[in-house]
Amino acid sequence: MARRARPVLGRRGVPLAAVAASALLLCACDAASVDLIPTATPTHEARPAAEAAPVGIAFAPLSGTPADAAALRHPSLAVKIDNHWDARPQIALNRTDLVYEELVEGGLTRYVAVWHSDVPDQVGPVRSVRPMDPLIASPLGGIIAYSGGQQYFVDLMHATPLLNVVADEDDGTLFERADDRPGPHDLVLAAADVVAANAGLAPPPVQFAYGTADPLAAPSLAATPTSRIELVFSESSSPSWEWDPTTYAWLRAQDGTPDLEASGERIRATNVVTLRVAIEWPYEEVPLTALTGTGEAWVSAGGRTAHGTWTKPDAGAPITLTADDGSTLRLAPGNTWIELVPNEGSAAFAP
């Protein structure tokens, strides 16, 4: 609010001689003969000013952005989201804190999308679980939602500490089929209802370290200016990101076409974290992303990219990002996409 200007009090233009004469007369008068104008006596009792209740400010654990502490006291919701071309545009991806993109059968990719600081009413389309999803979601705690899957993969997910919300086990209150989408890419989850019904579960722990809006500026990180990120998961999947300095965000494309969500907005991210991962095949045609151990990593934020390594010692541990100089690779506060690019694929960062 603009501060109101205080009026400047000036002289009335009375001649200086008259002012001086008046002053001499006042000095000559006996103090008792001067009538002082009485001050009005208040007719009400003075009351102390009301004190506003303090508002607790915290930082969202999955995005590093400031938020009302009370609004963060609920679990995160991880959802298996379809990325088949018939599933696009997906619902509410720009309101996620984290999105993990993984290779699935047929050379396509799917997402594990995570909402916590901003939970929408609906998300989707929801698809089935895959064998690497317990490795991705376990460090988050909270809730995991999916449509179903091969029984062995479902059993793996049920063995995690997460609350499983499964369409195959739903009574029809949380999942519904959207009339304007082709099946099986039409399953929508009532996300806000799921979180509200399980609000007593613990909030997620921090997954990544956060810094400033330009966290890669330190010369020791040797970050390079980046205008475009080109990723290849397979012959069928080639997502890319381009840096937009006007919105200070990475804008996503798939197979050379701008990638939109259902709101009509271009899918965007504050950070893009690219991890090179091994792909194993213990389940015949279903690939398994090996997400424990260590590997090559890049963090792209603020129009720069820094190189380093990722480490994840076990299923319950979060991913640790370390720069080539040994320091922690920090992200900018905001949403993050984690690209789990196969070693057989490629990652390129254009200046």
pLDDT single digits (tens) 128-153:
999 999 999 999 999 999 999 999 99
Q: Is 203 a member of any domain?
A: no
Structure confidence by residue, pLDDT tens digits, 230-282: 999 999 999 999 999 999 999 999 989 999 999 999 999 999 999 999 999 99
Instruction: Establish if 253 belongs to a structural domain.
Output: yes
Cβ burial 170-182 (10 Å sphere, 16+ → b, else e): eeeebbbebeebe
On whether residue 123 sits in a domain, the answer given is: yes
Tell me if 293 is assigned to some domain: yes
Could you tell me whether strands 249-254 and 239-244 are parallel, antiparallel, or unpaired per DSSP bridges?
antiparallel
Whether 185 and 253 map to the same domain: the answer is no
- Give the whole-angstrom CA distance, residue 252 versus residue 243: 9
Q: Are residues 259 and 290 in the same domain?
A: yes
Q: Does residue 30 belong to any structural domain of this protein?
A: no
**What is the pLDDT at residue 257?**
96
Taking the CA atoms of residue 139, residue 270, residue 302 and residue 241 in that order, the dihedral angle to the nearest 10 degrees is 100
Same domain, 248 and 341: yes
Find residue 120's DSSP bridge partners: none
* Enclosing domain of residue 125: 67-197
| pLDDT for res 47 | 42
CATH classification at residue 279: 3.50.90.10
Residue 60 belongs to some domain of the structure: no
Structural domains counted in the chain = 2
**Residues 343 and 223 both lie in one domain:** yes
283 in a domain, yes or no? yes
Q: Do 155 and 272 belong together in one domain?
A: no
Q: What is the pLDDT of residues 36-83, one digit of tens each?
A: 333 344 444 444 444 555 555 799 999 999 999 999 999 999 999 999
- Given 197, 231, 253, the domain boundary residue is 197
Q: Are residues 159 and 235 in the same domain?
A: no
The domain boundary, picked from 197, 231, 247, lies at 197
Whether 121 and 225 map to the same domain: the answer is no
> Any idea what DSSP says for residue 264?
S
Report CA torsion sign: 124, 107, 264, 261. Answer: positive
Q: What angle do CA 275, 281, 287 make, to 5 degrees?
A: 55
Residues paired with 311 in a beta bridge? 294, 320
Compute φ and ψ for 154, nearest 5 degrees. -65, -40
Q: Are residues 192 and 243 located together in one domain of the fold?
A: no
